[in-house]
Structure 1
Amino acid sequence: MTNDIYGPFPGSPEFLDALTEGQRARYEQLGTNLDVVERRISDACAAAGRARDEVKLVVVTKTYPAEDTALLAALGVTDVAENRDQDAAPKAELCGNLPLAWHFVGQLQTNKVRSVVRYANHVHSVDRLRLVGSLSAAVGASGRPELGCLVQVALEKEHGEGEGRAGVAPADVEALAEAIADAPGLRLDGVMTVAPLAGPLAGDPARAFGRLAEIATAVRAAHPAATMVSAGMSGDLEQAVAAGATHVRVGTAVLGVRSPLG
């Protein structure tokens, strides 16, 4: 693929002319999948009595090539997510001219922080005080104005489960949110969760996301600008929207199930 499709005008006639036959087929496939996901989100919003513009689709592009990200931008996607810096950093650099917001959603090690702050608009996976300090220091050193951060909540830890899973227990959310809000260069955006795999909420995303909504409400009471609620993926986005999610993270339903890159 030529660099023409990574230019600042995705979807233009010049962009479409640059596509090979295989790339055009992928473009059409992604467009069809996006239409299906868009209908699901719109229907879920209607069922919940919410306006469609209250929910942002974040397409999780992890393991898929940069050219898919360029095609998604051409199709009108504005937000993409990655979970590994070693994949995200080169992809974000290649797609740097595209009108995209980048979300880091994976477990973040402190030795990757300096790289992540170079491209991420939001880090959804803040789950410990040490990471808050590292992010704050990296933002200060980078010269960027601020970085949006979400507290990752591990709902199963409320019931003594999920010891090795990323995220903090609900009881610890308030303290971590305060630390983010007080850290120079960081902006507390809200909360994030993944449907639990253990405990009484496992297999019941409606209840799980309802619990996250309660936690989000408590965070907003202390920090009114922390309005983001990141929840829901390909299999449970409807339950997330019903519970008040503002951002749904969808990968498979858009990109399909295929052999991904390493």
Structure 2
Amino acid sequence: MTETVSDSRRTSATTPVPRGVLGPALAMEWVRARSILSTWVILGCCVASALLAYLVGRGQADLREATNGSLGSASLDTWISVVTAPVSTTAILVGIFAAMAIGHEFRYGTIDVVLTHLPRRRVLFAAKTITVCGYGVVAGVVALVLGAAVLAGAGLWNRVGGDAVTPGLFAGLMCRSALVACGFGLVFLAVTALTRSMRWGIILPIIWLNFVEVAIGAVPAMNKGVWRYALPFRDAQSALDPSRHGFDTAGGTNPWLSLGVFLAAAVIVGWVSAERFSRMDV
């Protein structure tokens, strides 16, 4: 009986998805997400991360004043570094939310129950992906806007170089913030589905981001020419703040190209994960 059910699920996973099937899957995923406390805790942490903009901005402003201007006046790169600090933290939080979106199913053994109601695995994975991406877009925009609002409210906007900000620049930064957070969510979701472990779905991307890419990026050749775009997570950071890795907005990396490379890598990992998820035994 178990083999028959498993075979039917595998067959239905590879057949085309008819119209109207995704709606119930999204509705179920929305109910699952909003009923879990961690969803709101993570969103609250994303909102609270806006305080990082104040802390970093205050530190930058006080440091320049303490050195009596020897560091020069704050530039646009300084403002970008300050205002995107909350977004970097938020992207990790979105990744944790994404890992939970599918990791809970494996951890608590509810994946069989879910597949009983939604046997089309591609539909289930698509619903989780859309939910994670939507959550990431909202969280990324909220983190940036609140961070900017905190800077303005604390009187730090011009002190960290915000006088050079234009509406077009801010809109572009807001778009990149949303997509970076969305991309982080997709990567964490994909790794969790591949490993079938929420723990490893969180740990492995963080290790890659903070240790593997840092070690590879220390090689001088990786900071020249097209090799500057060879590390996906570094590209995500450069899409927000090129100066973080010694580049600059004028002669360094192109933030939109960095974003494109990162999203391409995220989509590839997500596609591989979706294919494996549609065929794996659970």
TM-score, normalised by the number of residues in structure 1: 0.24
Instruction: Judging by fraction of residues, say which structure has more helix.
Output: 2
Greater gyration radius: 2
TM-score, normalised by the number of residues in structure 2: 0.23
Instruction: Judging by fraction of residues, say which structure has more strand.
Output: 1
Q: Which has the higher contact order (CA 8 A, sep 6+)?
A: 2
